[in-house]
Structure 1
Amino acid sequence: MVLTIRDVTKSYPGQTVETAVLRGVSLDLSAGTSLALTGDSGSGKSTLLHLAAALDHFDSGEIGIDGVRLSELGDGQKAALRRRHVSLVFQQFNLIPSLNIEKNIALHARLGGTWDAAWGQRLADRLGLSGLLGRYPEQLSGGQQQRAAIARALAVRPKLLLADEPTGNLDEAASTAVMELMLELVRESGTALFLVTHSNAIAQMLDRRLHLRHGTVS
C-alpha cells in the first residue's frame, strides 16, 4: 500500500474543551488507484489530507507512506519525504510568479533531485502546455495554471499525489477536462491519488469514494 491510515485521531484546542476533528479514521490506498474523500465544510477533509502530507501531527494512530511510519520521522525527514515521494495540488495554484511555466513545472523535481526533462516535456505535451512553457503564470488562464500545477506535482514522479479541491476555481467543463487528464496521468505513472472534494461529480470520476462525517469515514 502506498498510503495506510490506521485509527488516526486529531483534536484542536478550544477555549474550554478540545474539539475532536478525526475519530479513529482508517483507510488504504494502493499504487495506480484513486480515492475521493467527500464531506461537509469543516468536517476535517483537509485536516486528514494535511496529516497524510506530514504537514501536521496526529494525536494517535499511525500513517504510513510506502511502508514508512510518519510517527517515526523528524521534521527534516518528513520534508525529504515530501520532496521525493509526495506531491500536493491545491485549489490555489501556488505557481511562482517570477518563474515561467517551464521552470515552475521543474521546480519541485529539481529541489528533490528527481527532475527528468523528457518526463517534464511529456507532461507538458499531455496537459496542453508545450506551447506555453515560456509564458508566466499571469499570462495563463485559470485552467492552464491548474494544469501547470498538476504537471509540477507529477514531475516529481510521486508515489502519492494529494489534491485538495484541485479544480475548485474552474468551471464545470474545465474541471472535468483537467480531472480526466490528471487521472490518465496518475494511472499511467502508477501514482496513488488521494483527493478531497465537495463535488460528487468529481468524486464519481475516481476509483473509490469515502465520506467523512462526525470524524469518521464510511
Structure 2
Amino acid sequence: MLLTVDQVSKTYPGGRPVLQDASISLAQGESLSLTGESGSGKSTLLHLVAALDGFDAGQITFDGISYSTLDDGGRAALRRNRVALVFQQFNLIPSLTVAQNLAFHARLAGRHDPAWTTEIAGRLGLDGVLDHFPEQLSGGQQQRVAIGRAMSVRPKLLLADEPTGNLDEVAAKAVLDLMLDLVRVSGTALLLVTHSQSVAVRLDRQAHLAGGRVT
C-alpha cells in the first residue's frame, strides 16, 4: 500500500475527540473518497495525511515512511516532493499569472517539466488564460489552476478537500472528470474528501467517517 492510516486518534485541545482509531489504506494509482457529516473529522484526517498536523495515537505510513520518524523539515519535504493538496480556497498566488501558478509547486520541488505543465494546461482548458492573473478568472477556472498546480509536480498522492464544493453542478462534473483523468494518466493516488455521494461513487472506493471512525 502507498498510504496506510492505522488506528489513528486525534483529540482537540479541551479534550474533544475528533478521530478515534480511524484507519484507511490507498494503493498507488487508486482513488478513495471520504464522506461524512460536517464536523466529522474529514478535513482533520486529510491534514494528518498531509503531515500538516500531529496525531495522538496510531500510525501513518506513506511510501514506506512512518510519519512518527519525520521532523518539521521531513514533513515539509514530503509535501513539496510527494504529496500535493487541493483545497476549496484555491490558495493561488495573486501576483503570479496562471502559467506561473501552474509551475509554482514543481519549481519548488526542482522538478518543473514544461512539457507536462503544458499538457496539464491543455487538459484543463487553460491554454487561453495562461497570461491572466487569478483575479481575472472565474471560480471554476481558479479551481482548475489549483488542480493543475498540484499535479504539475507529478505527486504520488493527491489530497483534495471538497474540490468541487464551490462549483455549480456542470462545472463540478467537468472538474472531477479532469481530475480523475489526470490521476489516471499520471498514476497518482487520490484521496478526496466530499459531502456529495454523487461525487464519492465515481472514485474507485468509498469510505465514510462517523463518530471518529472510518467505515
**TM-score (norm: length of structure 1):** 0.97
Structure 1 match to 2:63: 66
Q: Which structure 2 residue ranges, 5 or more long, are not aligned?
A: none
- The equivalent of 1:144 in structure 2 is 141
2:12 maps to: 12
Match 1:185 to one of 182, 185, 207:
182
Q: Does 1:162 align with 2:152?
A: no
Q: Which residue of 1 aligns with 2:206?
A: 209
Question: Aligned ranges for residues 26-65 of structure 1 at < 5 Å?
Answer: 26-65=23-62
1:117 is matched with: 114
Identify the match of residue 134 of structure 1 among 131, 143, 160.
Answer: 131
Query: Which amino acid in structure 1 is aligned with residue 9 of structure 2?
Result: T
- Given that 1:32 and 1:188 are in contact with CA atoms closer than 8 Å, whether structure 2 keeps it comes out as no
What secondary structure is seen at the aligned counterpart in 2 of 1:20? strand
CA distance, structure 2, for counterparts of residue 136 and residue 2 of structure 1? 36
Aligned CA-pair RMSD: 0.6
The sequence identity of aligned pairs, in percent, is 64
1:77-106 deviation per Cα after TM superposition (whole angstroms, max 9, x unaligned): 110111000000001111111100000000
Distance in 2 between residues matched to 1:161 and 1:64, nearest whole Å:
15
2 CA distance for matches of 1:122 and 1:43?
A: 37
Count of residue pairs brought into register by the alignment: 215
Offset, 1:13: 2.0
Structure-1 separation of matches of 2:194 and 2:86: 12
TM-score, normalization by structure 2: 0.99
Supply the distance in 1 between the matched residues of 2:170 and 2:198 (Cα, whole angstroms). 12
Q: Which aligned segments of 4 or more residues in structure 1 are displaced greater than 6 angstroms? A: none
SS in 2 for 1:64: strand
TM-superposed CA distance for 1:46, in Å, is 0.3
Residue-by-residue CA offset, 1:28-79 (whole Å, 9 max, x unaligned): 1011110000000000000000000000001011111111111100001110
Q: Is contact 1:62-1:69 (8 Å) kept?
A: yes
5+ long unaligned stretches in structure 1: none
Instruction: For residues 79-135 of structure 1, give each alpha carbon's deviation from its aligned partner in whole angstroms, at most 9, with x where no partner exists.
Output: 011100000000111111110000000011101111111000000011101111111
Q: Distance in 2 between matches of 1:107 and 1:79?
A: 15
